[in-house]
Amino acid sequence: MTDSRAARWWGVVTIFLIVAISYVDRINISILITDRDFLDHVGLAANDRVRQGLLATAFMVGYGISSFVLTPFAAALLGVRRSLIGGLLLWGVVTFASPMLSSYGLLLASRTLLGVSEGPLFSLAASYIKAHFESRENGKPNALVNMGTGLGLAVGYPLVGYLVAGHDWATSFHVLGLINIVLGIPLVLAFVRMPAPGAAASAPGKTPALRQVGEIVRGALQTRHLLLVTVLTAAFLAYLWGSSNWLPAYLREARGFSLREMGWLASLPQYASVVAVLVGGVLIDRVARRHVPLIFVVGGIGVALAVWLAIAVQDRYAAAFTLIAANFFWGLMSPAIPSTVQHFARPEHVASAYGVVNGTGSLVAGFMPALMGSVIASVPAGSAAGFFAGFGMLIGTQAVVCACGLLLWWLERSRGD
């Protein structure tokens, strides 16, 4: 029993590392759009903020649709282990091959395909945690998995910056593609195991495949408060994708930091979110389940105030450090979303339910980089004013998070679980 309990944590650590790897893949474009050689290669102008933002949006469209549509098939037909291996192989190949694409349209298509390959990841993680941990103890494993988001961004900004500055932009794609395959796949083979009941439930042949998928989808859609949690997730992720995509350019162009300074300053907010995710996971396991939605209220208010200060203050270092505070409050909320879905959904429906929440939320949030790019480009008062207006949009996302958190708490307060 002790070995089994230890083994489940090795699986969580493996998924945490895969999440971190995936987030380096996702944000490398946000560094590359500051590199003149890369922009020339794909035919992008340095001031074309809308098309630059669309590169991130294309990824999120593929990611959101895949998370919603492919997750039930992955859960029913392949299972967690084989789905992770297939995803790592596909996104490793797509990333490695990206420098061969010499036009904006082809790069846009590759980012969409990368999003498709990564779409089921968090749903598979939720299914793994549901199978190995009870609701009263799922805060810390969810926190560890979600820490991969912050770690991937924290490592990704300086790593991609170093590869671009020390070598060239194409090297960043090659290195990241190899990491996916050489590191990710062996870890899954060694440590990710589902318990026998979960494996049996997902084995093909017991039920006709399409019928099995249909039953999973129908069950997932009956998950308590699914729509409310999905709206909350969309607003929550809108902050992540808006801020992470435009943070390097904001620091360099609106606040005047050098490329070297921008790399480590962009990574600091992500380290703050890593610490906060851990704190949030511990907090979830210590408070009553019905009070967990209040984490969204506190976190949303904290993020909104910190972003407002980042816009309002004059000193550039003060602005950078207020964004560290914003990411800390954002990180507090991160493990509460999968924990809430796992609590509300039946074990056999968790992957698909989280696929609906994460997929739809990601699809909606994926338009935030392009919307921010449009706002940044449309303000005539100068690049700094444009960035301030773009980042102001992030405050609105947190108002939605707060409202949804309050409503969820009000709906759940009378329940005994």
DSSP state of 76: I
3-state helix, strand, coil in the chain (%, to 5): 85, 0, 15
What is residue 46's three-state secondary structure?
Answer: coil
- The reply to whether 358 falls in a domain is yes
Q: At what angle do helices 2-32 and 121-132 cross, to 10 degrees?
A: 160
Count how many Cα atoms sit within 13 Å of the Cα of residue 52 in the half-sphere of its side chain: 30
Going by C-beta distance under 8 Å and a sequence separation of 6 or more, which residues neighbour residue 166?
Answer: none
CATH number, domain containing residue 328: 1.20.1250.20
212 belongs to a structural domain? yes
In a domain, 97, yes or no: yes
Q: Is the dihedral of CA 325, 367, 334, 142 positive or negative?
A: negative
- Asked, for residue 157, whether it belongs to a domain, the answer is yes
- Report d(CA 3, CA 1) in Å as an integer: 5
Quick one: pLDDT at residue 206?
45
Give a yes or no: residue 217 inside a domain. Answer: yes
Q: Compute the distance between CA of residue 321 and CA of residue 268 in angstroms, rounded to an integer.
A: 8
Question: Tokens 């590191």 label which residue?
Answer: 183
Number of continuous H segments (helices) and E segments (strands) in the chain: 19, 0
Residue 314 lies inside a defined structural domain of this protein: yes
Domain count, the chain: 1
What are the CA-CA distances from residue 146 to residues 23, 159, 261, 331 (Å)?
Answer: 11, 20, 26, 9
Q: Cα separation of 312 and 154, whole Å?
A: 25
Cα 97–361–374 angle (5° rounding)? Answer: 70
pLDDT, position 304: 94
Ranges under pLDDT 70 in the chain: 1-4, 72, 75-76, 196-222, 258-263, 348, 380-383, 414-417
* Cα gap 271→113, rounded to integer Å: 29
**The two three-digit tokens of residue 48, written as one number:** 């074309």
88 and 184 Cβ atoms separated by less than 8 Å: yes
- Tell me if 366 sits within 8 A of 59, measured CB to CB: yes
Is residue 195 a part of any domain in this protein? no
Tokens of 244: 């992470």
pLDDT of residue 216: 55
**How many C-beta atoms surround the C-beta of residue 377 within 10 A?**
18
Domain that holds residue 118: 2-190+208-412
Residue 197 inside a domain? The answer is no
